[in-house]
């Protein structure tokens, strides 16, 4: 029996996606994905997402958090965050092409005296992303 089969069996026995994620040390979103690939019909949480919660998601997203980070923090799947942000008129960010190369370019610009904010504006990304990439270069 492979891992996805085990997850499906545990889910059918009543474990939540979050509990399964903790057991396998993966995200709840990955559990959801694997269950859907196995054709498992998932249980609804029976919990409606409140406007106040979406307000917080919007705030975090505008600060530079990714949809996946927000989803993980609030125990939902990334698609839910994406849908709710879209309902609020917020479109997803573009994927950064060749992020390692961009980080090196940003480092050079930063060393030349540009601020993180200036670099972010030049590349159309958040200052938080620039800061993160500068801190986490190999």
Query: Could you tell me where the DSSP H helices lie in the chain?
Result: 3-12, 17-24, 28-37, 51-62, 67-74, 78-87, 99-111, 116-123, 127-135
DSSP letter assigned to residue 117? H
pLDDT-based confidence at residue 55 (cuts at 50, 70, 90): very high
Measured CA distances, 105 to 97, 108, 114, 122, 130 (Å): 13, 5, 12, 12, 11
> Residue 30, SS3?
helix
Measured CA distances, 19 to 15, 35, 80 (Å): 6, 14, 19
Is residue 55 within 8 A of residue 22, CB to CB? The reply is no
Confidence at residue 16, expressed as pLDDT on a 0 to 100 scale: 86
pTM of the model: 0.42
pLDDT-based confidence at residue 114 (cuts at 50, 70, 90): very high
């Amino acid at each position: 029996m492979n891992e996805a089969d085990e997850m499906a069996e545990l889910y059918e026995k009543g474990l939540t996606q979050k509990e399964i994620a903790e057991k396998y040390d993966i995200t709840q979103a990955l559990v959801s994905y694997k269950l859907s690939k196995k054709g498992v019909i998932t249980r609804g949480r029976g919990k409606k997402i409140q406007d106040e919660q979406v307000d917080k998601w919007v705030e975090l997203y505008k600060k530079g958090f990714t949809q996946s980070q927000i989803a993980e923090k609030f125990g939902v799947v990334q698609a839910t965050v994406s849908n709710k942000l879209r309902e609020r008129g917020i479109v997803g960010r573009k994927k950064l092409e060749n992020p390692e190369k961009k980080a090196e370019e940003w480092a050079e610009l930063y060393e030349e005296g540009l601020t993180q904010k200036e670099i972010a504006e030049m590349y159309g990304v958040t200052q938080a992303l620039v800061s993160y990439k500068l801190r986490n270069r190999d």
